[in-house]
Amino acid sequence: MVGAQDPVVARQLVKKFDDFVAVDQIDVHVAPGEAFGFLGPNGAGKTSTMRMIGCISPVSSGELRIFGLDPEADGRKIRARMGVVPQLDQLDNELTVMENLVIYGRYFDLSRRDARAKAAELLDFVQLTERADSKVEPLSGGQQRRVSIARSLINDPDLLLLDEPTTGLDPQARHVLWDRLYMLKERGATQIITTHFMDEAEQLCDRLVVMDAGKIVAEGSPQGLIAEHVRREVLEVRFGHGRNEEQVEKLDGIGGRIEALPDRLLIYADDGEAALSELHRREVVPESSLIRRSSLEDVFLKLTGRTLVE
Amino acid sequence: MTHALHVFERDVVFLRRIWKAVLLSAVVQPVMYLLGVGIGVGSLVDRGADSADLLGGVSYFAFYATALLATTPMFVGGQEALWPTLDGFMWSNSYRAMLATPISSRDVVIGQLFRYALRCVVTAAGVAVVLAIFDDTRSWGLGLAVLVGVLTGLAFAMPFAAWTATREGDSSFPAIIRFGIIPMFLFSGAFYPVSQLPDALEPVAWVTPLWHGVELCRGAVLGGLGGGMAALHVAVLLAYVVGGTAACMVTFERRLRT
Ligand SMILES: Nc1ncnc2c1ncn2[C@@H]1O[C@H](COP(=O)(O)OP(=O)(O)O)[C@@H](O)[C@H]1O
Ligand SMILES: [Mg+2]
C-alpha cells in the first residue's frame, strides 16, 4: 500500500548528466519506519538517486514525491524534515565538533540554546562527548562519520539518508556505527541506506533494491531475495588459478547453479556438505573448499554476472 | 533572509576565534606601506614645486594613506572570494552540507556577501584606526571611508565569488591576483593621480572599481569631492556589487544543484 504522505514514492525516476543516464527509470517506495537499502556496485547510480531524494539534485524525468511533496516546489520544506549523511563527510574543518553540530542546528532554525542542548545529547548518543571541543581534523574516519551522523540528527529528522555510511571504515568502526544505526531504527526513524557491502545491507535493511547501471534489477527483503534467486548454501572450491573453469563439466548435476570465477567455483546447493561429498565421490579434489550460507553477494552475481566489490 | 544570517553566523563563529590575526594582518600591511611609501616616497614628492597642486593640495602622505582605506579591503575581500570560497564547493564542501538543510543557494550567496563584508569592515577599520594617529589624515570622514572600503571590497569579492563557483581547482587564482589585483593596485590612482597616466590608459582606470573606491575614500577623509562625482563613484561600486551578486546567484545554483 502506497500512502500519500509516505517518505518516498518514485515512479520512472530518471537522472541524466548531459546524455549520460545515471538513474534509469526506477520505481521506489519507502514506507514509514522502514530501513530501505540501495545495494549496488560503484557507479550504479546510488548517490545520484540519494541526491534527488535529498532535494539537492533536480529530477531529469519521472515523478518523485517525498512525504507527498514535490522536491522542485517544496525542497526547503522537505529538507527541514530530513537528515543527510553524505558519502564523503562534509564537516567544517575550521570549527570544533560541537560548533559543527550547533551551526547545523541553526540552519534548521533551532534557537542557539536548543541547538546546544540537542548537540550535547547527540554527541552522547554517538559516544563523542569528550571530543566536543576538538577540531574535526584530528578525529579518526570512524569518529568523523559519527559526527556526521550526529549532525544529521540535529533536526530530529523523519527520514534519514545514509550514503555508504561505512565505506572506508575499519571493521571495528563499522560495528560501532551499525550499532548506532540499529538503535535509531528501533526508535522508529525511517532510513534509506546505500551500500556496496552485502553484509551491511543484510544487517541494516528491512527491504532493499539491487541496483546496477542505473536500473533496479531486484527488490525484496534480504532473506526473500536470497530465497528467490539462489540456493541456501554455497560450496566454494578452488582448483588453482586458471584451472577452475575446466572442472565445471565434471560437476554436472551437483547442486543447482555453478558460477565460475577466475579464482574459484561457486556451487549453489541446498546442502553444501552433500555437494562436497559428491565431489569427493567423483574424485574431483579441490585444493581447498568452504561451505557458507548464500548472501546478497550471490544474488548480485546471479543477476548481473559480476561481483559487487571488484 | 534569516537563513542567510544563519549562513553568516558560521563565519562569525569562525572569525571570533581568529579575529586578532585578521586585524593584525589588516593593520601591519598598510602600516608598512605607510612607512615605506607614504613617508619615504612622500618626503621626495613633497619637495616638487607643483606636487601639491597635482595632489589636490594635500601632502603625499595624506594622498597615499587614504587610498589604503580602499586598497586593503580590495585585497582582503578579493582573496576571501577565492580560496576560502572554493573550499565551500570542493574541499570541505561546507556549502554542499548547507544545501542539505533548508538553506538554499541564494541564502549561501547572501551569507557569503555578509562574510566578505565582515572581513572588509575589520580590515578597513584597522586601517582607519592607524590613519587616525596621523595629523594629516585624522578626520571624522574615516568612518565614512570604512563604509566605502567595504563597498570596494565587495565590488571585487562578489564577481570573484561568481567566478570561483565555476572552478574545479585553484590554478587560475594566482593569475587573478598577479594580473588583476596587483595592476589595479598600481594603476588606479592609489600611488598617483590617474591624470598622470598616459592618455590612452586613463579611461581604463575609470572603469576599475578600485579607482572609484580610492577617490571616494580620499574625498571622505580629505574633502574636495563634489556630490555629483561622489554619487557616480558609489553607483559604479554598487553596480559591481549588484552585478557580481546576480552572477553568484546563477553560478552558485548551477554548481550546487546538479
Ligand atoms: N555530476 C555528474 N556529472 C556527470 N556524471 C556523473 C555525475 N555524478 C555522477 N555521475 C555518473 O553517474 C554514474 C552514477 O554515479 P553515482 O550515482 O555516484 O553512483 P554510485 O553512488 O552508485 O557509485 C557514474 O557513472 C558517475 O560517473
Ligand atoms: Mg555513491
Ligand 2 centroid, distance to A67 Cα (angstroms): 23
Q: Is A298 exposed, middle or buried (0-12, 13-18, 19+ CB in 10 A)?
A: buried
Query: Does A192 contact ligand 1 (Cβ within 6 A)?
Result: no
Query: β-strands A20-30, A288-293: how paired?
Result: unpaired
Nearest to B10 among A76, A88, A103 (CB): A103
Q: Are A192 and A159 in contact (CB under 8 A)?
A: yes
Kindly determine whether residue A54 and residue B94, on different chains, have CB atoms separated by under 8 Å: no
Residue spans of chain B under pLDDT 70? none
For residue B169, what pLDDT is reported?
96
> Could you tell me which chain A residue has the CA closest to the CA of B111?
A107
For ligand 1, is residue A18 a contact (CB within 6 Å)? no
Q: Which among A113, A132, A155, A135 is positioned nearest to B103, based on CA atoms?
A: A155
**DSSP per position, B68-91:** HHHHHHHHHHHHHTSHHHHHHHHT
3-state DSSP helix/strand/coil % of chain A, to nearest 5: 35, 25, 35
Estimate to the nearest angstrom the gap between the alpha carbon of A140 and the chain centroid.
22
Rounded distance between C-alpha atoms, residue B22 and residue A107, angstroms: 26
Domain that holds residue B181: 2-256
Question: How far is residue A49's CA from residue A45's CA, in Å, rounded to a whole number?
Answer: 6
**Can you give the pLDDT at residue B18?**
87
Give me the amino acid identity at B240.
Y
Q: Which residues of B touch A73 (CB under 8 A)?
A: none
Number of domains, chain B: 1
Residue nearest to atom 3 of ligand 1 (CA): A17
ipTM of predicted assembly, 2 dp = 0.90
Beta carbon of A48 within 6 Å of any ligand 1 atom:
yes
Ligand 1 touching residue A20 (CB < 6 A):
yes
* Chain B CB within 8 Å of residue A215 CB: no
Backbone phi and psi for residue A39, each to the nearest 5 degrees, phi listed first: -105, 130
Report the helix count and the strand count for chain A, using DSSP H and E. 10, 13
CATH classification number, A8-219, choose in 1.10.630.10, 3.40.50.300, 3.40.250.10, 3.30.420.40: 3.40.50.300
C-alpha pair distances (Å), A120 with each of A105, A180, B214: 12, 16, 49
B97 at interface of A, judged by CB pairs closer than 8 A:
yes
Q: Do B257 and A94 touch (CB under 8 A)?
A: no
pLDDT of residue A310: 61
Distance CA A297, CA A226 (A): 9
Cβ contact B104–A76 (<8 Å) = yes
pLDDT at B162: 98
- H or E element that contains A19: none
Contact A109 B99 (CB under 8 A): no
B110 at A interface, C-beta within 8 A: no
pLDDT tens for chain A, 310 residues: list them. 788 899 999 999 999 999 999 999 999 999 999 999 999 999 999 999 999 999 999 999 999 999 999 999 999 999 999 999 999 989 998 899 999 999 999 999 999 999 999 999 999 999 999 999 999 999 999 999 999 999 999 999 999 999 999 988 899 989 999 999 999 998 888 999 999 998 899 999 999 999 999 999 999 999 999 999 999 999 999 998 888 888 888 888 888 889 988 889 999 999 999 999 998 999 888 999 999 999 999 999 999 888 877 6
Fold of A231-293: Alpha-Beta Plaits (3.30.70)
Cβ contacts of B102 on chain A, cutoff 8 Å = 76-77, 79-80, 107-109
Residue A59: the pLDDT is 97
For ligand 1, atom 9, name the residue with the nearest CA.
Answer: A48
Residue spans of the domains in chain A: they are 8-219, 231-293
What's the rounded Cα separation, in Å, for the pair A13 and A25?
5
Q: Is A264 in the pocket of ligand 1 (CB under 6 A)?
A: no
**pLDDT for residue A181:** 92
Q: What is the dihedral of CA B18, B19, B20, B21, to 10 degrees?
A: 60
Q: Is the CB of B258 under 6 A from ligand 1?
A: yes
Strand A265-269 and strand A258-260: pairing?
A: antiparallel
B14 vs A: CB within 8 A: yes
Q: What is the pTM of this model?
A: 0.92
